Homo-oligomer: A and B are copies of this chain.
Amino acid sequence: MYSVSELQNIINNEIDRLDYLGRKPHELYEPVCYALNNGGKRLRPLLTLMGCNLLSKEIETAVKPALAFEVFHNFTLLHDDIMDNAAVRRNKPTVHKKWDPNTAILSGDAMLILAYELLSGVPGNFLKESLDIFNKTALEVCEGQQYDMNFEKAPNTTENEYLEMIRLKTSVLMAASLQLGALLGGASVEERENIYLFGQNLGMAFQLQDDFLDTYGDEKTFGKQIGGDIVMNKKTFLLVKTIELAKESDIKKLKHLLFEENEPSKKIAGVKSIYERVNVAGITQKKISEYFTAALKSMDKIKVPDNRKPPLLDLTNNMFDRRV
């Protein structure tokens, strides 16, 4: 079995070897490399390799498609940053700020195609199924981003609508990354379904935790400024659930804070005090636990020797520990 750090090394070495900078014109490929070398966690390619390694000792065939998911993920970040008019990602200027929006659109397009170029490296007998998984997932991610944009304009978003949005925007990509790895590792249809569900539940927990940590995390370990979602009026599970549960006078206060309070620290403190009154922190943590538990149940159903599961279970537990 490969350890997480061994797999991360493989991924980082392969990303270094992509050499998109050797392609022309530079004006197209330089932003692609800039976007790819962002110090990210490489979670999706890691899941592909771990999905493969869960069933097979040989992970070679999964390396290229693993990178396809990473390149695809970074394409979505690049285009999402234009749509959100985000100036900074991981402490670096976003592509459309460092260059310009046109460069960001076109380089993003190229990245989406480069993801397919990597995907075409899977063994021929798996190509059709791999392409189908990838196409379906890529469209779902676009659909999730559209729902996210719709919600920015919608006054009331229900919990279920919000959960379906993050399922599409975040979870299915993690699920598909794992599933494609398992497919290449020789998983049966049933095993692939269970690993997909594992990944999807893990992805839900992951995104809800992101929502939680943005308000309740520790700035040092989380790596982002705490309260950013509140300042930006971002629809998160915390906000959606609070709007559902808060009494009318608090909703009124909340709307005032969101739309009229311009001082960030006052806005964060005010919104958090309303969050506290409905105990949305506790509700969110409970929801996260439910998804983690569901993920582990799907993992239980996968019939591989138990000694093949620890790396993936360790990763899951580490993600769960991120909470505290």
Of the candidates B82, B114, B117, B146, the one whose C-beta lies within 8 Å of that of A25 is B146
A194 to chain B, nearest CB (A): 25
CB distance from A191 to the nearest CB of B (A): 23
Which residues of chain B are near A109, meaning CB under 8 Å? 79, 108-109, 112, 142
Is A52 at the interface (CB under 8 A from chain B)? Answer: no
Chain B residues near A147 (CB-CB < 8 A): 25
Q: Which residues of B contact A108 (CB under 8 A)?
A: 109
A147 to B117 CA separation, bound complex (whole angstroms)? 21
Considering only CB atoms and an 8 Å cut-off, how many residues of chain A contact the other chain?
37
- Which B residues touch A135, using CB under 8 A? 113, 116-117, 120
Which chain B residue lies CB-closest to A142? B110
Question: At the interface, is chain A mostly helix, strand, loop or mixed?
Answer: helix
**Which of A125-133, A236-244, A286-294 lies at the interface with chain B?**
A125-133
Contact, CB under 8 Å: A150 / B106 = no
Q: Residue A79 contacts which of B25, B83, B105, B145 (CB distance < 8 angstroms)?
A: B105
Asked if residues A150 and B25 are in contact (CB atoms below 8 Å), the reply is: yes
How many copies of the polypeptide does the oligomer hold?
2
If A128-B120, A131-B120 touch, does A106 touch B25 (CB 8 Å cutoff)?
A: no
A124 at the interface (CB under 8 A from B): yes
**In the bound complex, CA of A150 to CA of B102 (Å):** 11
Tell yes or no: A62 within 8 A of B by CB. Answer: no
Whether, in the assembled complex, A314 has its beta carbon less than 8 Å from a beta carbon of chain B, the answer is no
Of the candidates B27, B127, B131, B139, the one whose C-beta lies within 8 Å of that of A110 is B139
Q: Is A138 an interface residue (CB 8 A)?
A: yes
Do residues B113 and A139 form an inter-chain contact, with CB atoms below 8 A? yes
Question: Chain B CB within 10 Å — which of A113, A138, A147 has the most?
Answer: A113
A213 interfacial by beta-carbon distance below 8 Å: no
Q: Say whether A143 faces chain B, with CB atoms less than 8 Å apart.
A: yes
Interface pair B82/A105, CB less than 8 Å apart: yes
A28 at interface by CB-CB < 8 Å: yes
- Chain B residues whose CB sits within 8 angstroms of the CB of A149 once the complex forms: 27, 102, 106
Question: Is A106 a contact of B124 with CB atoms below 8 Å?
Answer: no
Within the assembled complex, what's the spacing in Å between the Cα atoms of A274 and B28? 34
Q: Is A24 an interface residue (CB 8 A)?
A: yes
Residues 84-130 of A contacting B (Cβ, < 8 Å): 101-102, 105-106, 108-110, 112-114, 116-117, 120, 124, 127-128
**Is A142 in contact with B83, judged by CB distance below 8 angstroms?**
no
B113 contacts A138, C-beta separation under 8 Å: yes
Q: Apart from A27-B149, A116-B131, list 19 A-B contacts with CB within 8 A.
A: A23-B143, A24-B143, A25-B146, A25-B150, A79-B105, A79-B109, A83-B102, A106-B142, A106-B146, A109-B109, A110-B142, A113-B135, A113-B138, A113-B139, A113-B142, A116-B138, A117-B135, A127-B127, A131-B131
Give 22 pairs: A residue, B residue, CB < 8 Å, sorted on A: A23-B143, A25-B143, A28-B143, A28-B146, A82-B105, A83-B102, A101-B101, A102-B149, A106-B142, A106-B145, A108-B109, A109-B109, A110-B139, A112-B112, A116-B131, A116-B138, A117-B135, A120-B128, A120-B132, A124-B127, A124-B128, A127-B127
